[in-house]
Amino acid sequence: MILLDYWVSVFGMRVRIALAEKEIKYESREEDLLGNKSDLLLKMNPIYKKIPVLIHNGKPVCESLIIVQYIDEIWNDRSPLLPSDPYQRAQARFWADFVDKKVAPRPGVLWGKGEEQEAARNEFLETFKILEGELGDKPYFGGETFGFVDISLVTFACWFHAFETFGKFSMKAEFPKITEWAKRCMQRESVAKSLQDPQKVDEFVVEYRKRLGLE
Q: What is the pLDDT of residue 105?
A: 66
Please tell me the pTM assigned to this model.
0.96
Distance of alpha carbon 89 from alpha carbon 102, whole angstroms: 20
Beta strand 27-30 with 2-5 is: parallel
* Distances, alpha carbon 154 to alpha carbons 24, 40, 58, in Å: 20, 28, 29
Measured distance between the N- and C-terminal CA atoms of the chain, rounded to whole angstroms: 40
- C-alpha dihedral sign at 31, 33, 38, 39: positive
pLDDT in tens, the chain (215 residues): 999 999 999 999 999 999 999 999 999 999 987 778 999 999 999 999 999 999 999 999 999 999 999 999 999 999 899 999 999 999 999 999 999 999 986 778 998 888 989 999 999 999 999 999 999 999 999 999 999 999 999 999 999 999 999 999 999 999 999 999 999 999 999 999 999 999 999 999 999 888 888 76
- For 111, phi then psi, to 5°, come to -105, -10
Integer Rg of the chain from CA: 17
Q: What is the pLDDT of residue 55?
A: 98
